[in-house]
Amino acid sequence: MPKRIIISGGGTGGHIYPAIAIANELKTIDPTTEILFVGAEGKMEMEKVPRAGYRIIGLPVVGIKRKLTLENLAFPFKLGRSFLKAQQVVRDFGPDVAVGVGGYASGPVLLAASLKGIPTLIQEQNSYAGLTNKLLSRGAKTICVAYPGMEAFFSIQKIKLTGNPVRTDIMQAKGKRPEGLAFFKLEPGRKTLLIIGGSQGARTINESIEKDLRLLVDSGHQVVWQTGPLFIERARKAIADAGASRVKAFDFIYEMNLAYAAADVVVSRAGALSVSELCLVEKPAILVPFPAASEDHQTKNAMSLVNRQAALLVNDREAPTDLVPAALRLLADPGEQQTLSQHIRELARPKAAREIAEEVLKLIK
């Protein structure tokens, strides 16, 4: 009889792509394993998960807004409906294990599974645990974490230090620079700056690049710029106005392995997935943490690298004046690039997906 596993959560690429990596590893270990994803209606997992070849069911769950809004009044009703639907999903699918990767949907699903006596596993990507995972940890059998010191949030007996899983193609980026340059129509003789702001883009990073686009053009470097969907038209206009033919803008980059392969330096937010990918591809990076992330966890993620001389930091509020000059300095300093690359390599955990998949399988009765 095939194993049946529910994987729940999402909301951002930082939750979705690790979840898909875990699912892929489970299928690699045993191709007969049946996997069902549960996400939040209207969130990006409802498109990304089917694209990866998996079935997903959406719940009407939403998060609580930081400000007092009418949406918050609907929160308890949507949460109640989501829990009832999660109970139905668990009952119908009959999983052997339920896995939560963070995000709105993981709460109702893991609670419903726990109440039916189904073992649960949590995967916490960040160096500062999210509220949902802290609440769910009480009923979880195993908690897979990406950073040391997580006993501050979870029972030390349940913790497994695995790192964050990333897609297999990211781990195979090394040695593909010629392919990456060709794919993005870049010149082999120029330094390449890769700018990524997470799956939805990053407004501060985008506006900082837009403001100093002329500096980038005059430097002679080339740029691959992932803007997110809301900024792409503005970026294209700025590129056209500046005559910046060596700046290539994309709303979303699916071929991130080739983007990393082509890059000499990366500018990025400090989401958990981005940090894990940078460690694996060994790229010198400037991190610009998103200051409004819950519990400021992106700054904590970034500092875990900065304190080891594995990345540079530019604060969000200073990015408009400091980001592009910092990127140009790093592009012009091969010694600093080598130092950052060497130190970030030491933090990589390439077997994270396999280790988490094995922990999931251990929980099957």
- Binding site members for UDP-N-acetyl-alpha-D-glucosamine: 12-14, 126, 167, 199, 253, 272-277, 298
Q: Would the pLDDT of 74 be above 60?
A: no
Q: What per-residue confidence (pLDDT) applies to 78?
A: 67
Cβ neighbours of 288 (radius 10 Å) = 28
pLDDT at 69: 61
Q: Report the percentage of the chain scoring pLDDT > 90.
A: 75
- Cβ burial of 221 (10 Å; 0-12, 13-18, 19+) is buried
Instruction: Please give the annotated binding residues, written as ranges.
Output: 12-14, 126, 167, 199, 253, 272-277, 298
The pLDDT value given to residue 126: 87
* pLDDT for the residue 63: 58
Closest CA relative to residue 36, chosen from 82, 93, 86: 93
Helices (H) and strands (E) counted in the chain, each on its own, are: 16, 13
Q: If DSSP codes are grouped into helix, strand and coil, which group holds residue 105?
A: coil
Q: What is the mean pLDDT of residues 113-132?
A: 91
Q: What are the backbone angles phi and psi of residue 281, rounded to the nearest 5°?
A: -90, -5
Q: Which two tokens stand for residue 361?
A: 């399988």
Evaluate if residue 109 carries a pLDDT over 80.
yes
pLDDT band of residue 90 (cuts 50, 70, 90) is very high
Three-state DSSP class for 144? strand
| Superfamily holding 169-345 | Glycogen Phosphorylase B; (3.40.50.2000)
How big is the CA angle at 245 (ends 240 and 248), to the nearest 5 degrees?
90
Q: Count how many Cα atoms sit within 13 Å of the Cα of residue 229 in the half-sphere of its side chain.
A: 3
For position 65, what pLDDT does the model report?
54
Read off the tokens for 172.
Answer: 């195979």
Q: What count of Cα atoms within 13 Å lies in the side-chain half-sphere of residue 191?
A: 20
3-state secondary structure of 45: helix
Spatial contact of 101 and 35, defined as CB atoms under 8 Å apart = no
Cβ atoms of 168 and 24 within 8 Å: the answer is yes
Pick the closest to residue 177 from 261, 263, 255 (CA basis): 261
Tell me which H or E stretch contains 68. none
> What local confidence, expressed as pLDDT, does residue 21 receive?
92
pLDDT tens by residue, 274-287 = 999 999 999 999 99
**76 has a pLDDT exceeding 90:** no
- What is the residue-averaged pLDDT of the chain? 91
Topology at the third CATH level for domain 4-164+350-362: Rossmann fold (3.40.50)
When comparing pLDDT for 200 and 240, which is higher?
240
Reported as a single tens digit per residue, the pLDDT across 47-72 is 999 999 999 999 987 655 555 565 65
Dist. CA 328–CA 290, nearest whole Å: 21
Instruction: Return the pLDDT at 5.
Output: 98
pLDDT, tens digit (0-9, with 9 covering 90-100), for 20-44: 999 999 999 999 999 999 998 888 8
Percent of the chain predicted with pLDDT > 70: 95
pLDDT of residue 131 exceeding 70 = yes
- In the chain, residues under CATH classification 3.40.50.2000 are 4-164+350-362, 169-345
Rounded Cα distance, 180 and 162, in Å: 29
Mean pLDDT confidence for 232-248:
94
User: Is pLDDT of 271 > 70?
Assistant: yes
Mean pLDDT score, 142-170: 92
CA-angle at 322, arms to 320 and 325, nearest 5°: 115
293-348 pLDDT, tens digit each = 777 889 999 999 999 999 999 999 999 999 999 999 999 999 999 999 999 999 99
